[in-house]
Amino acid sequence: MSGSLSDLSIEPTAPAHPLAGTRMSGARMIMQVLSDEGVTAIFGYSGGAILPTYDAVFLYNEECARAGRTQIPLIVPANEQGAGFMAAGYARASGRVGVCLVTSGPGATNTVTPVRDCMADSVPIVVICGQVPRAAIGTDAFQEAPVPAVMGAVAKHIFLVTEPEKLEATVRTAFEIARTGRPGPVVVDIPKDVQNWEGTFQGAGLLPIPGYRRRLAELTGSALDAGAAARFFAMLGECERPLIYAGGGVINGNAAARLTEFATVFGVPVVTTLMGIGSLDTRAPLALRMLGMHGAAYANYAVDDCDFLIAVGARFDDRVAGVPDKFARNARRIAHLDVDRAEVNKVKRVQWSHVGLVGDALAALCAHGREQQFRRDFGPWVAELAESKRRYAMNYDRASPLIQPYYVLEELNRHTRGEAIISTGVGQHQMWAAQYCDFAGPRLWLTSGSMGTMGFGLPAAIGAQIANPARLVIDIDGDSSIRMNIGELETATTYDLPVKVMVLNNFGDGMVKQWQKLFHKGRLSASDKSLHKKDFIRAAQADGFRYAVRLDRKEDVPRIVGEFVAFRGPAFLEVMIDPDAGVYPMVGPGQSYAEMITGEFIPSRTKVDIKTPGPSEMF
């Protein structure tokens, strides 16, 4: 970073900060900016290079306690990766910027995975890393890592603070970048001597980032004009089978209410991506739930049958549009609303698009349609889809003597009624939860989508519980996925968080096993964990869970699931499920929706032969 204090952007009309002009350390400035930004929790693990800032956290909270002000709790995980995912869970569940505070070297590199995960799913967090003193940078000093080089490849932006006078503005700017435009993770690497430096707190000011702010101004000022709205409604008026395809951009853009309004006013059905779950109440008549590789059969059939596809905050990724030329194959036109220009026409050519804030664009479309008294009866299409939902509904072997995971989640859903915050690890349990649990609105479904990071579920649930202390928060996990960050069980009990942890145990990497059975002639290479010695119940009890129960009898499912949900405080439930249970429907890699495998218990339009993926097909 170069330049002088005169380069800082300070809003001239902003009222003076009560601490402006106060001498304080760089670490204390960091803490004050976090407070000013509305941070209500910090997730992190200490170490030598970040000690000054940890001391500032202690002193800040001590001062708040004396003055009767609200403190900012510091949540200490078992591992920095856990801290990153807790910050992500906090951000996903609240819509606010999550904060992760770690030391240099391994402390910083342990957060690379959550930073990349947040970048892939557009989640706003700020990671503050300690760094060795400026004079030691580049000398391979103790616990030194090239954080700008490492994080620059995976974060939305990275700052290395080399001029102490710019520290305050840099931290403030990090929040601005993280939360605006397409949200994402920002990393601030701060040498220890910069934290120890003393200077005058300005109480205002941002770094000059003219290019970013110019693009942001263009984005926020990009109003949908009457001409564009008229062209959109002309296409809508000419179609008979419209379908909204809603992605994570609806959730990240806080546009779920606008999407619901648009769909309801004009009677357009909605499918969502994995990340878009909650854009529309999953129980709504117009909701067709999730599409894609493991989407509902009726959702995928709707995409095949629609003649006008309206993509909102979605990016046509490989899990949805696996074969782009065959995706929405009967759609004569496609419209696309997104906050990121790079996503438009990237995978699928569209006939109408708008780049801007999707909530504002949906509101403008609604207003235009009402003003022009747009009327189009899509009743026959909606009725056809309702019949499809009935005919191709999710189903499984209900007579099996083994505990089926679908049954367990149906029972859980009966208690949560779409109101719980549910996080997951990654694997079969993730897809089952997406398929069988209801979500009444946005920010109730937390999962690692694009990165597919095992170990996400438990720490994300902890972060979500911190952000929403009064809500029921449940981590639906797998026996392999929870192993990745199982140390965070102790974090839940240390802070007495009433997180509920449900582990669906099928003795291994279930999704990998499913692929090995389908495409590798049943060779379970490295995926079968049936001989592993882990006793999850004893592990949970050792970490302080007073409720730690193993469910292994089908007849006990209703009673024990009810007890688990109702328990006051942290609760752990291990469910011994059918080890051969699969995730269906399934669209194999390189296959179209017409080639979807629905399994034994979900009807299919056509008989489908299982095809072995080609050498370049993705997992």
Catalytic center residues: 80, 142-143, 192, 511
Cβ(269)–Cβ(241) below 8 Å: no
CB atoms within 10 A of CB 146: 15
Report the candidate in 10, 37, 33 with the shortest Cα–Cα distance to residue 167. 33
For residues 314 and 274, what is the distance between their CA atoms, to the nearest angstrom? 10
Query: 206-227 burial by CB neighbour count: b if 16+ within 10 A, else e?
Result: bbeeeebeeeeeebeebebeee
Angle in degrees, CA 62, 107, 36, rounded to 5: 40
Cβ(502)–Cβ(477) below 8 Å: yes
Report the candidate in 145, 142, 141 with the shortest Cα–Cα distance to residue 109. 145
Report the candidate in 494, 489, 433 with the shortest Cα–Cα distance to residue 461. 489
- Cα 284 → chain centroid: 22
For residues 126 and 115, what is the distance between their CA atoms, to the nearest angstrom? 9
Strands (E), 228-307: 242-246, 270-272, 287-290
Cβ(134)–Cβ(122) below 8 Å: no
Q: Is the peptide bond before 585 cis (omega within 30 degrees of 0)?
A: yes
Residue in the block written with tokens 């179609």: 239
Rg (CA), the chain: 25
For residues 103 and 72, what is the distance between their CA atoms, to the nearest angstrom? 19
Q: What are phi and psi of 25, to 5 degrees?
A: -75, 165
Cβ(312)–Cβ(257) below 8 Å: no
Q: DSSP states of 477-519 as a string?
A: EEHHHHHTTTTHHHHHHHTT---EEEEEE-SB-HHHHHHHHHH
- Pairing, β 287-290 against β 98-102: unpaired
Residue in the block written with tokens 């102790």: 490
Residue in the block written with tokens 């909650």: 278
For residues 498 and 365, what is the distance between their CA atoms, to the nearest angstrom? 42
Per DSSP, 586 falls in state B
Which residues are CB-contacts of 6 (< 8 A; sequence separation ≥ 6)? none
